[in-house]
Amino acid sequence: MYHMQITSNQPVLLFKYGGNAMTNKVLKEKVLHNICQLNERGFRVVIVHGGGPFIQELLDRVQAPSEFIHGLRKTTPEALKYVEMALKGRVNGELVGLINRLGYKAVGLSGKDGRTVTATKRYHQHTENGVTTDHDLGQVGDVESVDASLIFSLLDQGYIPVITCIASDGDGHDFNINADIFAGAIAGSLKARSFNVLTDVDGLLEDIQKPDSLLNKLTYTDIDRLKKAGVIGGGMIPKIEACQNAINMGSEKAIIINGTKPEQILELQNEDFSVGTTIIKE
């Protein structure tokens, strides 16, 4: 088992983990091994995860009815029980177990633990014919605030926190939160040296059809331009917004890298790395 003296001045690296890097067993072990290796090399690491495919699998198995509003799933209180079961009971437990088997010390959390994340109910705004209406998505939330004290306490004791995106509001109502947004808020609160988003692509491509069109560095001005041009769209929008939120709250930078290429993770220890897309404020 690996033991290391942890000090509070070591930089924090937060990894938002998901996609194929989570569903492929061999790949999952390589990704987690490399993340943990950074822990050996002088960084305090935190892992935040979602688990969409596992949620869908469980909802299908129990035949829970699904209602969609403009493509977004409405989460009933009953469905949320299964969402939490999939995220905390299965995915989080498996990640913690694997990290422990690799010889490190992981602790599994959700945003509810230690009131680390306080949620607020989210409404989906939809505009049609110039009229904007709010749609109730049920137990779907946003991050209202983050108290990072429990995470820092675990890091200072040499643990690797593994956190999933369930949180409660001030009245104790539970909510499922988009994992990218959830992770970005925690990264910002931890003042992470980098907020690292693992995806299934090499980063942001200027032309999705051209793998060599990777944009290595972006500023906020670039992001505005690329959104208007349609380069940033679909599932990349919440990732980019989470990156901006992390930086606004205190992260030094955000990096989108390919989680299916776990060797790229180790490059993050170098200041002059060239993988992925790095986002800075200006």
- Cα(197)–Cα(245) distance, integer angstroms: 13
Q: Are 144 and 120 in contact (CB under 8 A)?
A: yes
- Domains for the chain: give ranges and CATH numbers: 12-272 (3.40.1160.10)
pTM here is 0.92
Under-50 pLDDT residues of the chain: 1-5
Residue 201 has φ and ψ, to the nearest 5°, of: -130, 170
3-state secondary structure 126-156: EEECCEEEEEEEEEEEEEEEECCHHHHHHHH
| Terminal alpha carbon distance of the chain | 42
Q: Strand 277-279 relative to strand 254-258: parallel, antiparallel, unpaired? A: antiparallel
Average per-residue pLDDT for the chain? 91
The percentage of residues in the chain with a pLDDT greater than 70, rounded to a whole number, is 97
**Res 2: pLDDT:** 44
**Res 7: pLDDT:** 54
Residue 115 has φ and ψ, to the nearest 5°, of: 50, 45
Pick from 106, 85, 196, 193: which is nearest to 158 by CA?
106
**Res 210: pLDDT:** 87
If you compute the radius of gyration of the chain from its CA atoms, what whole number of angstroms results?
A: 18
